[in-house]
Structure 1
Amino acid sequence: MNIVRTSLFLFLILASTSCQPKNKSDKPETVQKAEENALAEVKLTAEQLKGYETAYFASGCFWCVEAIFESVKGVKEVYSGYSGGTEKNPTYKEVSYGKTTHAEAVEVYYDPKIISFAQLVQVFFGSHDPTSLNRQGPDRGAQYRSIAFYKNEAEKKIITDYIAQLEAENVYDRPIVTEVKKFDKFYRAEEYHQDYEKRNPDNSYIRNVSIPRLNRFKENFKSYLKEDTH
């Protein structure tokens, strides 16, 4: 009976927390706007990011995915946003409620002299469940599907070769359902989503889903972490 009660308790916690608009903010609009302006000053400019390569991934709530890639050495900046669909200028409300064909995704700026695209692909597959169709953790819907985007044939081969390796080694007991998709367009999410995990440590979703997911990644990829994130 205790096991049943514990399982039910955990289910209720996860069910009440999700990467949804209701978690946007409970702060006054003026306070939130001031924080957004401060964040815009912290994020690097396009000029500062010149010379870095970009990679794009989708693997569930972008709050979690952004924090994971931010912890990886050689990664200079990460933006949360939307990709993989056809609609122009999607909003968070539209995407999170499944009203578009986009998925929540991240744009990763990285230094290929420090971290390679192949290693980022390993980070991607090692930080989520690629066998879960249209779902990660408590978040359900095609907007949370797993996608590895490629910009050229070389990147596509890296992704497909790694999937073949994972399958040959029977790393998972279910088929990998990750989409391997040609990159088209990335739309950055609203400012309050950028660095969301860092700025909202007391958010219930962050406490119960994002931080545990980040910690699991750190435990398994210690050699890939920045010095200040161990």
Structure 2
Amino acid sequence: MMKALSYFALLFFIISCQAQTKQLSLQVKPGKAVAVFAEGCFWCSEHVFEAVYGVDEAVSGYTGGTTKNPTYHQVGSNQTGHAEVVAVFYDPKKVSFAQLVDAFFASQDPTTPNQQGPDVGSSYRSIAFYSNLDEKKIIDDKIKALTVAKVFRNPIVTEVKPISAFYEAEAYHQDYVKNNPNQGYVQGVSIPRFNKFVKTYKGKLK
């Protein structure tokens, strides 16, 4: 019996390791746009951005590193260079990239290197990605404005990087807060963080 259990445990481990993610195209339909942000746990980020008016969908995933088709556990080992991120698909006629950047900074503490709340490691670092120089300027200008206004007590450590290959996270991570409202982390971290965002963000919500 013990040998049988050991066999199935090993089989499960092998299957889990082989459950690689796939690269997701960030191509959008005419009139639509996409932005990518990393601000700690993507469960929280997805919940935040999907509440913003003009956002069609937020997809949890991984980017910023070099490992191809990384799994959740690989990214969590902090050895891939990737961070947990969200790809935010939106309607620029309803919400601008600048407003999404505002939401990004309103929903996190961008002054904690490789950490967001209880989550520690490079996979939880703060990164604002851009697809062109206009978006980069918007991000840079926002960081300067927040710094001058001394909104945060400590220096902002958010990385500003061009968008690279985006890997969609495993299916069970998508809409995690919505699908698991009573889960411990959701109750203790995700929902309080979301409630704080709602009070802080000046833009329009759904």
Q: What TM-score results when the alignment is normalised by the length of structure 2?
A: 0.85
Report what 2:158 is aligned to.
178
**How much does 1:222 deviate?**
5.8
Residue of 68, 71, 89 corresponding to 1:91: 71
Q: Which runs of 4+ in 1 moved over 6 A?
A: none
1:191 aligns with: 171
Matches of 2:162 and 2:108, distance apart in 1: 20
Alignment of 1:202 onto 2:188: no
- AA matched with 1:161: D
Report the residue type matching 2:94 in the other structure. I
Shift of 1:164: 0.6
1:42 aligned residue: none
**In the alignment, is the contact (CA less than 8 A) between 2:40 and 2:115 conserved in 1?**
yes
Instruction: Give the equivalent residue in structure 2 for 1:108.
Output: 88
User: Shift of the alpha carbon at 1:221?
Assistant: 2.3
Q: Residues 23-56 of structure 1: CA distance to partner in whole angstroms, max 9, x if unpaired?
A: xxxxxxxxxxxxxxxxxxxxxxx99x62320000
What does residue range 23-34 of structure 1 map to in structure 2 within 5 Å?
none
Residue of structure 1 equivalent to 2:122: 142
Q: CA deviation at 1:171?
A: 1.0
The 5 Å alignment of 1:27-66 reads 50-51=29-30, 52-66=32-46
Counterpart Cα distance in 2 of 1:198 and 1:124: 20
Q: How far did residue 100 of structure 1 move?
A: 1.0
- 1:223: Cα distance to partner? 4.2
1:97 positional shift? 2.2
Segments of 5+ residues of structure 2 without an aligned counterpart are: 1-25
Aligned with 1:78 (options 41, 55, 58): 58
- Which secondary structure state, in structure 2, belongs to the residue aligned with residue 109 of structure 1? strand
CA distance in 2, matches of 1:151, 1:167: 24
Aligned partners of 2:57 and 2:89 also within 8 Å:
yes
* 1:220 is the counterpart of 2:204: no
For 2:101, the aligned partner's letter is V
In 1, the alpha carbon distance for the partners of 2:115 and 2:204 equals 26
Deviation at 1:150, TM superposition (A): 0.4
* SS class of match (1:224): coil
Amino acid at match of 2:121: G
For 1:145 and 1:99, locate their aligned partners in 2 and report how far apart those are by CA, in whole Å: 13
Deviation at 1:124, TM superposition (A): 0.2
Structure 2 residue matching 1:76: 3-state secondary structure: strand
**1:80 aligned counterpart, secondary structure:** strand
Q: What TM-score, normalized to structure 1?
A: 0.76
Q: Name the structure where helix makes up a greater proportion of residues.
A: 1
Give the secondary structure class of the aligned counterpart of 1:54: strand
Alpha-carbon distance in 1 for matches of 2:112, 2:193 = 15
Which secondary structure does the structure 2 equivalent of 1:85 belong to? Answer: coil
Q: Aligned pair 1:124/2:94, yes or no?
A: no
